[in-house]
Amino acid sequence: MASPDSKLQEIAEPASASPAASDVSRVKSIATRLTEAELGEIEAAAFKAGKKVSEWLRDTALASVRAPQQEQTDTVLLAEIIGMRDLMLNLFAQASKGPLSTKDMRKMSAYADSIKEQKAREFLSRKRSQTTTK
């Protein structure tokens, strides 16, 4: 009776050339348990990349740990901070000219609300383009 591992090898190994010289020195292994659905997803991704499952998993794991860790930015929080910044700048600018009416406050608040999300997207876009060009 074939073991689950041999089934995986039968499914995962397309015909390929002899192993690379770097494969010879690999002596450590990692095992994990997967659901049938997870295994199917991984096999499909490996097949799409034209790699054996083990090769695809190794490459994917190493790419993940070697890639520079990108900061996760909460876009909602960033938009609120940008909105508050814009509101504060406008409040100080208008207050230096004299007293503010309730109508002025509402207009400035509405303006800050209307632009904050777009400014947050622009900021993140600039940040992403700066990190990809480095």
Domains in the chain: boundaries:
30-68, 75-129
Q: What percent of the chain has pLDDT over 70?
A: 78
pLDDT, position 130: 82
Helices (H) and strands (E) in the chain, counts: 6, 0
Cα 77 from Cα 9, distance rounded (Å) = 47
Task: State if pTM tops 0.75.
Answer: no
Task: Give whole-number Cα distances, 83 to 16, 21, 75, 123, 127, in Å.
Answer: 57, 56, 12, 13, 18
In this structure, what token pair is assigned to residue 93? Answer: 């600018």
Over residues 17-72, the pLDDT tens digits come to 445 555 578 889 899 999 999 999 999 999 999 999 999 999 999 988 888 776 67
With contact defined as beta carbons under 8 Å apart, do 123 and 82 qualify? Answer: yes
